[in-house]
Each structure stands twice: as structure tokens, then as C-alpha cells.
Amino acid sequence: MSSVTSWLRQLFERILIRVWAWLQKTPVAPGGPRDSRQPTDNVMRTMNLVMPLKDKTAIGRAQAALVIGSSLDEIYSGLDNVGTVHMARFTIVDNNLLMFSFYDGDFHAYIRDFIMTLGNAFDGVVGLIEDPPPLPCWQHVDAFIEWVHQRDAFQLPDDPGTMIDVVAPNLDNLEDLSRYLVLQLDKNRNVQLGAYRAYPGYSVAQVRQRLGVGW
């Protein structure tokens, strides 16, 4: 397919999606893990925080690298003190600063503990991001939690049954599933498609205790 044909096709698809978005209203799906009362759903939960950089040049990326790099002690110490984080990493992808993590327990408690223990370092980080939350973050905890929640990527369920429940609860024709999915991903551009766990169902505390490395 030539580049012109490809461009025309994508233009047509964009128009078609806008028409369907008007015909079939689809709400923005909340980011982060879905509510669950199941015990093992509440450990090793995932956060995929997507933060668009204000400055989309290499200067902006370098600023982010410097801020994160100069705060690593503070970040690592803070995450240690939060105590429920299995893994967290900062990455820049296409001018978005990403913070991906696996954590245990309630999202609000995680973010609250997180910002109370490393709020100073995070103030420097969010200062480089579009539409930052009120600063200092640790003095505006509820606003910060909501800010993170809005930027935490939607999580597509791993299995088809739950995926239909979440994306297409009113589906009555399986052929239309692809349209429901397209319209949901039109509303939620950032999406987690799967998250592998080597030891599902165990908290940080259990893992550290069983490894004998102290808790």
C-alpha cells in the first residue's frame, strides 16, 4: 500500500471513528485496576502513569532525566518506606514521562503514602509535566491522587469474558465487539494490555519474608 493510500485510509478511519463516537456514546473508562474484593486482586496491582512532558524537545527530556537522576536516593528511600511497592520505574517514551509500578493494596493509600514520603522529589518531576497538579503535591494530597488517577492508563482485562463485561456490557452481537473496543480505545488512548506476574498473589511483605531478606 502506498503512503498516499495509507494516509487516505487513516483519514477515512478517523472520520468514521468520529461518526461512531457521536452515534454510540462511550464514556472514558477509569484508569488503574478495577475494584475488587478478591484478596489476590489486591496485591501486585499495576499503575501505568503517563505524564506528557511540557517541553517536547531533547532539552525537556534532559531536564526530566536530571530531575529523576538527582532524586534517585529520595525516590528509592521513599518507595522503601511505602513498603507496598514491588517494582517501579521511570521511562521516557515519545515525550511522555512514564512511571510504571506494581504495588499492593488500595490505590488511594498507595498514592497517599507515596506522595507523603517523596513529595519533594515529585514536585520537581511534575513541574516538567503538562497540566501539573497543585504544588507542593504533599500539601494537596487529594488533588494529587485525582491527578494521578486521571493519568493512570485504562487496564484492558486479560480474559475475553471480563473484557466484554468492561468494554461492551450492552453487546448483543459478537460481530460488533471490535467496534466497542475501537470506541473505548478512542476514549482511552493509553491502555494496559496485560501484566505478567512471576509470583501472582503475594505481597511485598510475603515475598521479602519468605526470601529471608527481612521485612
Partner 1 sequence: MHHEVTAAQMLDAFKKDAPGHVAETRWAHTHGLGVVGHFVASEVAKEFCIAQHFQGSSVPVTARFSNGSSDPTRHDERPDTRGLAVKFHYADAADHDLLSMTLSVFGAKTREDFLGVANAFVPRPVRSESWLRRHIVDPLMLRSPPPPLASGVTISGGPGLAQYAGSHQFARAFTIEAGLSQVPVSWARTAYHAVHTFVAVGPGSERRPVRFSWQPVDGVFPVPPDEIAAKATDFLTTELRTRLAQSAAQFTLKMAIGDPGDEVDDPSRSWPVTRQTINMGTLFIDQIAQEPHLNAERLSFNPMRLPAGLEASGDEILRARGEIYQLGCKERRGSGCPVLSGSGSSR
Site residues (vs partner 1, CB under 8 A) = 16-17, 20, 37-41, 43-44, 158-162, 164, 171-179, 182-183, 195-197, 200-202
Provide, rounded to whole angstroms, the least separation between the CB of residue 186 and partner 1: 10
Residue identified by cell 529471608 is: 212
Cβ 199 to partner 1 shortest distance, Å: 8
Locate 168 and state its grid cell.
Answer: 461492551
Nearer to partner 1, 97 or 153 (CB): 153
Q: Which is nearer to partner 1, 142 or 176 (CB)?
A: 176
- The least CB distance from residue 195 to partner 1, in Å, is 8
DSSP annotation of 152: B
d(CA 80, CA 204): 11
Which ranges of 41-190 would DSSP assign to H, the alpha helix? 58-70, 72-82, 107-126, 141-151, 160-167, 177-187
d(CA 121, CA 73): 10
Task: For 57-72, give one letter per residue: b (16+ CB within 10 A) or e.
Answer: eeebbebbeebbeebe
- C-beta of 55 vs 106, nearer to partner 1: 106
Single-letter amino acid, residue 64: A
Q: What is the 8-class DSSP label of residue 94?
A: T
Query: Which residue's CB is nearer to partner 1, number 93 or number 174?
Result: 174
Q: Would you say 65 or 181 has its CB closer to partner 1?
A: 181
Helix, strand, or coil here: 4? Answer: helix
Smallest distance from partner 1 to CB 106, Å: 15
What's the closest the beta carbon of residue 183 comes to partner 1, in angstroms?
8
In angstroms, how far is the first alpha carbon of the chain from the final one?
58
Minimum CB distance to partner 1 smaller for 16 or for 143:
16
